[in-house]
Structure 1
Amino acid sequence: MVAALTPSYPVYCLRPALLRQQARLFLDSFPGRVLYAVKCNPHPRILQALHEGGIRHFDTASLTEIAQVREQFRDAHAYFMHPIKIRPHIKTAEHVYDITHFVVDHMDELEKVMEETDNEDLTIFVRLATPELGGAYDLSQKFGATPDEAVALLRRVAAEGYTAGLAFHVGSQMLNPWAYKKALEMAGEVLDSSGVEIQYLDIGGGFPAPYVGQPVPELAAFIDAIEEGRNRLKLRRDCVLMCEPGRALVANGCSLVVQVQLRKAERLYINDGIYGSLSEPALIKIQMPVRLIRSAESVGLEPESDSFKDFTIYGPTCDSFDKLPTPFRLPENVREGDWIEIGQMGAYTNALATPFNGFYPNTFVELEDSPPAIGGSD
């Protein structure tokens, strides 16, 4: 790709085969319904590869995501899983896109959904807040009902004649399988107190992806914990178990090739940064694997060094805050014009990119080779 394009701009390198592989792994392993969390990476080629891998259900958080999924795939099922929805979008989701699954975490939101919909055959999930269980992001600070609130909501949903579901999210990049057991234990207590039989139990996302210095348990360990927790609940036999993976499905399905614009001693200035594809490393300090791709000029000057060193990485904008918190370990003779391929860039990258300062990464190619491996560079 680099030889063909010699890009002076960032390039996302999609690996559809890896995306299809991850989709099949989840579908074969999870004992229920798998919804892809579109927010993680909504690029049409990402969605296409996951669809080819068998994904048919999608966790959507906005009318835009619903429209994209339903218009790209005729056989797709979208679920409006944002706990706080724009009022007119509820009506449009139901009337235009036939959405029948909604989530709420407050009585006023339930009233809003009831007022804006006409279909009595709806499924209403109640989003339960969980305690901080060790994820990179605690997703219950902003959303989620307390146990007492969840009990009241479930009872109201059932009393209004809707199909009831219960949902929670243990936090993003969750490395501890036991967190799902703990959350399921809480869910069981809420269900026992409410006396409501639910048709759907949505355990959310949080399944992790590996990064440098951050190995993750096998998916089987999470599935075992989830099944153990579910089996302790008093659920109806036909209750559908659901999950919403995002990062674990797509992180390794995309890498990013950036170019070195300038070197100042042990500082490298590249053409992407925290206002573009690399905002998440600045938020949760994850470290991606990297490898150097040398320019023809570099190759002509000297062989690639066998000695590696850490380089501080700055992005292209005028903001001094545009700096990665962790260094890239690269051959010590890296120079201007060389490229760096960054692995594990499929999750929360292009989805979070901004056009600040006029820099906006928006070039995608599909490759069949392997992305940079997670492990030591030297």
Structure 2
Amino acid sequence: MQRYHTPLDLVRMRAPERPVAIARPDAVAVAARWFQDNFKGDVFYAVKANPSPWVIETLAANGVTSFDVASIPEIELVAQHAPGSRMAFMHPVKSRAAIAAAYFDHGVRTFALDTHEELAKILAATGDAKDLNLIVRLGVSADGAAYSLSGKFGVDPHQAPALLLAARRATQDLMGVSFHVGSQCMRPTAFQAAMTQASRALVRAGVFADVVDVGGGFPSVYPGMVPPALADYADSIERGFAEMMVHETTELWCEPGRALVAEGSSILTKVELRKGDALYLNDGSYGSLFDAAHTKWPFPVKLLRKDEDGAIEVEGPLKPFRFYGPTCDSIDHMPGPFWLPEDVREGDYVEIGMMGAYGVAMNTRFNGFGDAETVAVEDAPMASMFGLARRSIPLPRQESQNVVKLSRARGKKRRRK
């Protein structure tokens, strides 16, 4: 990757025509070290959040050498860019061919499941192997999460004991439980509550777990969403683990995705046209802005402009804008509002921040668009849970004319709930 000091230097030197994924490896490295220093267990990176090779390599170089994978391509990606790493196949539904390839070709021994049928499939595809680590995914409450992930996977509490007992009998190695409290969890005690549910299931089954995997859900900072400090989540998990009915050698795992990589990337887009409060960009919902379109996810923005003296970050009175992507599909629309200086014009650049999680991972090539290059920068992200930048992203207060001064927007503090 080419490296620049800031995205502004990129605009000044090159004025790119295509969308650019702005990588901040230093931010990912800091997050990786925080989890190792503060989470009292094993950290498995959820590759789905951002499968970029530079992310895998940065995490491995900074001590995160365990990976939560969901497919053979993800397994191959990790094997190529972090050779020798430990992998856990944590998708609860897998094909027989994928299970066999993971076990026999790549040495994967950890598999998740949430049904008796999946357990039977894993055993058959591995030749009734006894060296499996079988992790039973439990359905738990997702209260407090921005995205609930409880509808598709997770065994019902009433059916969990029988499945836990079957998994315990099926392996001579590790048997464990996992769950997911939901993506962007805003309530640390949700982890503790889920661990209580898991403990009850284990007691009813009459088995001990060798692994308690608290999954993902660790949050990042976005406009209007300022989570508690990550230390509060680590403390809640530690308390929950201490209260569980487990033995002294039980391992504690987690699967962070968003929290490790959200700060590690942004997207630089170009304004192709302005129609009133609508900006037509060269990236959109079929590219890196899926969440901004389909779930109305808020992201912070900056306006950059190339001029005769080089390039500047534009400041001034703010106005709410909506975005349209480059495809011919009318649902390629990001409603926002995205607050930018009111004099946005064609040819300007909009840097959309905190896109490291589920940004480039969702990219398609629909209509021939979506071909983004990647460059590295050295400046800080727009916000940070790890002390690299402020922990809040101020939201402008809509006044009578929907305009506020930039200095006021930057100075406003948002109270933590």
Aligned to 1:269: 280
Q: CA deviation at 1:344?
A: 0.1
Task: Report what 2:324 is aligned to.
Answer: 314
Q: Aligned partners of 2:24 and 2:347: how far apart in 1?
A: 25
Q: How does 1:17-36 map to 2 (within 5 A)?
A: 17-36=26-45
Partner SS for 1:361: coil
The answer on whether the counterparts of 1:35 and 1:59 sit within 8 Å (CA) in structure 2 is: yes
Q: Summarize the Cα distance change of 1:349–1:305 in structure 2 as closer, same or farther, 3 Å threshold.
A: closer
Q: In the alignment, what sits opposite 1:177?
A: 188
Superposed CA deviations along residues 344-378 of structure 1, whole A, max 9, x for unmatched, are: 01000111111111111331001111233433554
Once the 2 structures are TM-superposed, how far is the Cα of residue 304 of structure 1 from its aligned partner?
Answer: 4.6
Tell me which of 158, 163, 168 is aligned to 2:168. 158
Q: Which residue of 2 aligns with 1:367?
A: 377
Q: State yes or no: 1:197 paired with 2:208.
A: yes
- Residue 357 of structure 1 corresponds to 367
Report Cα offsets for 1:244-300 as digits up to 9, x if no partner.
000010001101110000111222111111111001122332211111111226989
Q: The residue matched to 1:148 in structure 2 has which SS? A: coil
1:211 aligns to what? 222
1:308/1:331 contact within 8 Å kept: yes
Paired with 2:308 and 2:281, the residues of 1 have a C-alpha distance of: 17
1:242 equivalent to 2:253? Answer yes
SS of equivalent residue, structure 1 residue 242: strand
Q: Does 1:8 align with 2:22?
A: no
Per the alignment, residue 51 of structure 1 pairs with 60
Q: Provide the secondary structure at the position in 2 that maps to 1:313.
A: strand
Deviation at 1:337, TM superposition (A): 0.5
The Cα of 1:52 is off from its aligned counterpart by: 1.7
CA RMSD, Structure 1 to Structure 2 (Å) = 1.7
Residue among 301, 305, 319 paired with 1:290 = 301
Partner amino acid for 1:68?
Answer: L
Instruction: Name the residue aligned to 2:91.
Output: 82
Q: For structure 1, which segment, 95-104 or 48-57, has the greater mean C-alpha deviation from structure 2 after superposition?
A: 48-57
CA distance in 1, matches of 2:144, 2:274: 38
**What is the distance in 2 between the residues matched to 1:267 and 1:158?**
57
**Is this contact kept in 2: 1:342–1:372, CA < 8 A?**
no
Q: Tell whether the 8 Å contact from 1:171 to 1:205 is kept in structure 2 after alignment.
A: yes
> What letter corresponds to residue 42 of structure 1 in structure 2?
P
Which residue, 45, 48, 63 being the options, matches 1:39? 48
Partner of 2:401: none
Establish whether residue 332 from structure 1 lines up as the match of residue 351 from structure 2: no
Question: 2:370 corresponds to which letter in structure 1?
Answer: Y
- SS of the aligned residue for 1:341 comes to strand
CA deviations 1:91-134 (Å, max 9, x no partner) are: 11001100100011000000000101033111101000012323
Residue 143 (str. 1) matches residue 153 (str. 2): yes
Who is 1:105 aligned against? 114
Aligned length: 377
Say if 1:49 and 1:375 are closer, same or farther in 2 by CA, change over 3 A: farther
Is the alpha carbon distance of 1:284 and 1:304 closer, same or farther for their aligned partners in structure 2, counting shifts above 3 Å?
Answer: closer
In 2, Cα distance between equivalents of 1:81 and 1:130: 16
Distance 1:242 1:304 in 2: 44
Q: Residues 304 and 313 of structure 2 are in contact (CA less than 8 Å); yes or no, is this contact kept in structure 1?
A: no
Q: AA paired with 1:281?
A: A
> Whole-Å Cα distance in 1 between the matches of residues 309 and 289 of structure 2?
26
**Could you tell me whether the CA contact under 8 Å between 1:70 and 1:76 is conserved in 2?**
yes
Task: Return the letter of the residue paired with 1:220.
Answer: A
Q: TM-score, normalised by structure 2?
A: 0.87
- 2:413 aligned residue: none
Residue aligning to 2:237: 226
